[in-house]
Structure 1
Amino acid sequence: MAEAATARGQPDRAGDRARAGLTGMGEILFLAHRIPFPPDRGDKIRSHHILKALAALAPVHVACLADNAQDMAHEAELAAVAASHCLVRRRGSLIGAGLSALLSGRPISLAAFASTRLARYVKQVLATRPISTIFVFSGQMAQYVPASFQGRVVMDFVDVDSAKFGQYGRRPGLGAPVYLREAWLLRRYEARIARRATTSLLVSEAEADLFRSRLGRGPMPDVRALGNGIDTALFDPAGMPMAPELVMGGPQIVFTGQMDYPPNVEAAVTFARQVMPLIKGRFPGAQFNVVGRAPTAPVLALDGVNGTRVTGAVPDVRPWLAGADLVVVPLSLARGVQNKVLEAMAMARPVLLTPQAATGIAAVDGRDFAISPADPEELAARAVGLLTDTIRADALGRAARAFVIAQCGWDRVLAPLPGLVGLDRRFGRRAA
């Protein structure tokens, strides 16, 4: 893999931490499979907020990768937060990673994020800085934690990747054997890493329970839930203009997300081809807006089908949410807490979602959002009901925003972080 990397430092923020009563701990090494800037997709939103919260506790040294030149362009933002950093551009192909993994007997996920430059940086930081905690974001990055490290290791798996690949592998297709191989190898890897870590984190209690159930025999390691949050000041409908494309026409239905992610692709295709014809039987002018970057060929082919509009990447998703009469998250396969659900709820929109997409969000069906099975006829019936009863839909949106303000702010969600890295906030010292 050809690589480009940089490492820079910044002044220490010891004064800020001392004023917050957070002195007396070592430094943190943060490993992430993608640069946490900009926070514009699910994994990067979570890693962005965790990194900023950790930087308020101690100097943080960051090792991460960039998918493309657009990611590399945000290096200055990373440098402004990190005490030092190493950002490596990923240039190897997935096919190359797959061949390497097959030859070495490793999961493809590990080979795809392997970097000798990153490994050298980690070794140098551990040798020269007083690192007391390594915080690992996403399972792929645990390969950089040396067995000799004696400090705390906090492993944020986010969700159970091995279970996700197992679900892919149980579906028809030529890739099924590859997915099943990945699921089997990752499950063994996840169990090994969880027993190596001080604490392992999952995005919801349901995901944590699933993870525990797959660890096999032996002492149960420390596995906890750390949820996702939402910036309710950023995602605020007050004064937010709607996207001009949504002003005219019939009811506007919006689905947001990374449109090369297989569950999103499947959801968009199914909704456009099977659900929209049923909705248009009641609302002929209804439009389905698929909003998100990197749409695959099957998603692009939906443009113009049954009132579907495929936007591709947009500068800001909020105007599209602001103009939505209904936001749908019709996933039949989902892991963890869906940021797209929290964003739509924060924008006070009525949200129709499947039970899979509702996992980990302790909101109430019929009060804060509407849950429907993924069956096209049931989804269409529930959508038509909400589009017909606009008073009820507006009440659902108001309750949704009230819920996320009360329960899902990042400060509230990340309150356990000091304890996880060994800091007793009350006394500003390392916990035993």
Structure 2
Amino acid sequence: MKIFVLLSRFPYPLEKGDKLRAYHQIKELSKNNEIILCALSDAKVAQSSIDELKKYCSSIEIIRLYKLKIYWNLLVQLLFSNNSLQVSYFYNKQAQKKIDQLLNKYNPDHIYCQLIRVTEYVRNSKIKKTLDYMDALARGMERRIDNAPFYLKPFLKIETTRLKRYEHFILNDFDNTTIISEQDRDLIVNIKNDSIQIVKNGVDYSMFKHRQEEKKYDLIFTGNMAYPPNIDCAVFLANEVMPLVWNTHPNVNLAIVGATPDSKVIALKSEKIIVTGWVEDMSEYYAASKIFVAPMQIGTGLQNKLLEAMAMKLPCVTSSLANNALGAEHNKSALIGENYNDYSKYIVSLIENKDLCNSIAENGFEFVKQNYTWEGTTLILENLMTSK
């Protein structure tokens, strides 16, 4: 089958969750199908990134979106329409014309869209098509409102309303829809949301593989540090959780590892808190750490960072919010907390109890190995696309 994959950004390097999901799905789908990749991009894509995707795609098309046009379009849509700004950011008429030409040129059997950001381009196409919501964007936006600066709150409220409406109506324009977890599916406001197929993420076990190395970091938290839920988590961890840990274990350090750290994250740097910025190989940092912590307070979707840490046999401490999508068993595969007292208590328990540390690590590894593989999850997607 010839599949036209339409993305809101180029799926490499793998510093964002949507890129990670798209990259591995393309890799798996390419084993039995021809992949034509069409990616929007508001920045120049490195040739090395293009070369990486050439391994799996018969054709690669990149459509540049220029910031001046993007910002003008956003202003117009905000003032004179009820359209979602998330969707408007990635849409323009020149790109529409190019995508129409590409569909005529390649004549694919199926269109696969990742995220509602790109659905306007193909929603009226007669070609069979699948939308991957990935996660519930509207609810994720809504959860940011309380912690946002006062001047952003009105815009976030407007966008939340618009996103909910768009998520509702776009479902009816696609033959198939998928999402990353049951938790996110339940947040899509549509009477037919039970028709949305759950397609989880996986782990690249060849990269995230347990190995014995010198431990430089007691605790580690990872992710794209420009992403608001990660910023919020890093600040919460440093300011609310770590002081309680330091009360009994003053020498414990924390590594905050991930691309483009926000100024709020950079400000957390100290003798005991390391902020790395972008790293070439995240697995090196997991291997050099003792305990993984991700007390996520806002956000939606499945936390890839938890899957990676578990795959590398790190004992994990996380929140019930993050675990709703993950589905780990408390006190067996992970330690699940509700507040800063819980998180600090669990961290101290893992520091002081080596048997507990090893047990959570081993059980966590078995849990992800059984439930999260890119081969297995992408097969669900492939069967969905070929069955209709």
TM-score of the two chains, using structure 1 as the length reference: 0.84
Deviations along 1:2-23, whole A, 9 cap, x unmatched?
Answer: xxxxxxxxxxxxxxxxxxxxxx
Choose from 337, 341, 366 the match for 2:302: 337
The residue matched to 1:360 in structure 2 has which SS?
A: helix
Deviation at 1:82, TM superposition (A): 2.0
Q: Is the 8 A contact 2:144 2:228 kept in 1?
A: no
Q: Is the 8 A contact 2:8 2:117 kept in 1?
A: yes
Residue in 2 that maps onto 1:369: 334
Find out whether 1:45 has 2:20 as its counterpart.
yes
Deviation at 1:187, TM superposition (A): 1.2
Separation in 2, partners of 1:146, 1:380: 48
The residue matched to 1:421 in structure 2 has which SS?
A: helix
The residue matched to 2:317 in structure 1 has which SS?
A: strand
Separation in 1, partners of 2:76, 2:288: 46
Q: 1:185 to 1:349 in 2, by over 3 A?
A: same
| Aligned 1:215-364 pairs, distance under 5 A | 215=190, 222-238=195-211, 241-242=213-214, 246-247=215-216, 252-304=218-270, 307-364=272-329
Residue in 1 that maps onto 2:57: 82
CA RMSD of aligned residues (A): 2.1
Choose from 177, 191, 206 the match for 2:183: 206
Separation in 2, partners of 1:97, 1:379: 43
The residue matched to 1:359 in structure 2 has which SS?
A: helix
Deviation at 1:68, TM superposition (A): 3.5
Residue in 2 that maps onto 1:7: none
The number of equivalent residue pairs is 385
Separation in 1, partners of 2:276, 2:251: 18
Q: Is the 8 A contact 2:5 2:113 kept in 1?
A: yes
Higher helix share: 2
Separation in 2, partners of 1:418, 1:293: 31
Separation in 1, partners of 2:73, 2:253: 40
Separation in 1, partners of 2:314, 2:273: 20
Q: Is the 8 A contact 2:111 2:130 kept in 1?
A: yes
Choose from 74, 77, 82 the match for 1:98: 74
Choose from 148, 159, 163 the match for 2:139: 163
Q: Is the 8 A contact 2:316 2:335 kept in 1?
A: yes
Separation in 2, partners of 1:266, 1:395: 29
Amino acid at match of 2:109: S
| Aligned 1:350-429 pairs, distance under 5 A | 350-373=315-338, 375-422=339-386
Deviation at 1:73, TM superposition (A): 4.3
The answer for unaligned runs of 5 or more in structure 1 is 1-24, 423-430
Q: 1:170 to 1:275 in 2, by over 3 A?
A: closer
Deviation at 1:120, TM superposition (A): 2.8
Find out whether 1:65 has 2:65 as its counterpart.
no
State the identity as a percent: 25
Find out whether 1:190 has 2:155 as its counterpart.
no
Deviations along 1:96-126, whole A, 9 cap, x unmatched?
Answer: 4531321442221122212445323321122
Deviations along 1:237-278, whole A, 9 cap, x unmatched?
Answer: 135x45xxx53xxx6110001001111111111111121111
Separation in 2, partners of 1:89, 1:71: 13
Separation in 2, partners of 1:221, 1:342: 25
Q: 1:232 to 1:80 in 2, by over 3 A?
A: closer
Amino acid at match of 2:348: V
Q: 1:300 to 1:369 in 2, by over 3 A?
A: same
Deviations along 1:290-325, whole A, 9 cap, x unmatched?
Answer: 1111111111111007x2111111111112111212
Deviation at 1:345, TM superposition (A): 0.2
Tell me which structure has the larger Cα radius of gyration: 1
Separation in 2, partners of 1:220, 1:143: 20
